[in-house]
Amino acid sequence: MQDLLEVAAEPHRRRLLQLLGSGEQTVSQLATHFTVSRSAISQHLLLLCEVGLLQARKQGRSRFYALNPAGVTQLKAQLDSFWNSELDLLVAEARQLNPGALPHAAPPDNGASS
């Protein structure tokens, strides 16, 4: 199975996800926003469906695509996890290189005031 981050990172697929954020659309509707062929857009949509980021339904001769909430939630969780762990590593490395350059994180504010 393809990696969600890798699939979503490709510029055309990222734009398709953005466009579908406003609601369900057909391949023809989506293709009007791109300079690549309708067939190329269909291939991108198929891959996004395969990894679970989109869902498709057929109505007559048209196929409608929409965001798959479960897939988008999974992508968000992967992004959150990636950034949290990668940024923690980056900060740790920066502190090793120059211990006084970065302030240590302040304790979380629990809403109590003095």
- For the stretch 72-105, pLDDT in tens is 999 999 888 877 777 778 878 888 887 766 565 5
pTM of the model as a whole: 0.73
CA-closest candidate to residue 43, choices 65, 23, 59 = 65
What is the band of 114 on the pLDDT scale with cuts at 50, 70, 90? Answer: very low
